[in-house]
Amino acid sequence: MRKSVVIAEDHAFTAAGLCAALGEMGVFDIVGVAANGIEAISLIKQTRPDCAILDLSMPGANGLEVLIEARRWSPATRVAIVTGNPSPQILGQLVEAGVDGIFLKNSAPETICAGIRAIAAGEKVIPAEVAGAVRKAGTGAGLTAREIEVLHAIARGLSNAQIGKALGVSAKTVDSHRTTLMRKMGVHSTASLLVLALRDGLIDI
């Protein structure tokens, strides 16, 4: 029995290559291709496919966000994430969110195709190099969702007062989160905080 699959990938050529490879396997029906995260979410919501293959970095919503929404609207859909340059933190979040498979764009096509077939069959596929990265992320993480939100706001250049307004809390609360972030990351300045967060993939530009 053929499996329905949707693809989300903002680079048209990559999407085309992926479609071609999956088509040749003869076990997948590609029911839709999205060029950004928003499209991907609504596509999954509408078609409830057996399988979704998502690029990690996309305009609108990234692969992680799409994964979470997919889980909400179509829990039976098996989700694979494809990424070019994986950061440990993000991979950790993906695993935590229950992703079914992770693939690197520079892997051999056969590896990826085989992996996707395995995922469609119900397996979980996490390559060794990714698993290593995730292990490393586990030790460094420990930040709460709220703290990450504050981190993102800081990266946008907002002051405590502005962040407070944006998140609907007092500036003092933001200050608390900021202090906690500093302590957890082991730094004492906004600059170091940002550099570390970028290096660890907690935020991006």
Partner DNA sequence: CGTAATATCAGGTGATCACCCCATTCACGC
Partner DNA sequence: GCGTGAATGGGGTGATCACCTGATATTACG
- Exactly one of 178, 197, 201, 203 binds DNA (CB under 7 A); that residue is 178
> What residue 139 binds from DNA, its own copies, none (CB within 5 to 8 A, per partner kind)?
none
- Pairing outcome for strands 51-55 and 78-83: parallel
Cβ density class 140-176: b for 16+ within 10 Å, e for less: ebebeeebbebbbbbbeebebeebbeebeeeeebbeb
- Exactly one of 42, 46, 85, 179 binds DNA (CB under 7 A); that residue is 179
> What residue 138 binds from its own copies, DNA, none (CB within 5 to 8 A, per partner kind)?
none
Give the residue with the Cβ less far from its own copies, 63 or 74.
63
- Rounded to the nearest angstrom, the gap between the alpha carbon of residue 18 and the centroid of all alpha carbons in its chain is 19
Separation between Cα atoms, residue 20 and residue 25, nearest integer Å: 9
Q: Is 199 in the site for DNA (CB under 7 A)?
A: no
- Exactly one of 1, 26, 108, 145 binds its own copies (CB under 8 A); that residue is 108
CB of 37 to its own copies, least distance (A): 13
> Considering only 13-21, 23-31, 126-134, 180-188, which stretch makes contact with DNA by CB under 7 A?
180-188
3-state SS of 34-85 is ECCHHHHHHHHHHHCCCEEEEECCCCCCCHHHHHHHHHHHCCCCEEEEEECC
Q: Is 78 in the site for DNA (CB under 7 A)?
A: no
Q: Contact positions toward its own copies, by CB under 8 A?
A: 10-18, 20-21, 35, 57, 59, 84-85, 105-109, 112, 154-159, 187-192, 194-195, 198-199, 205
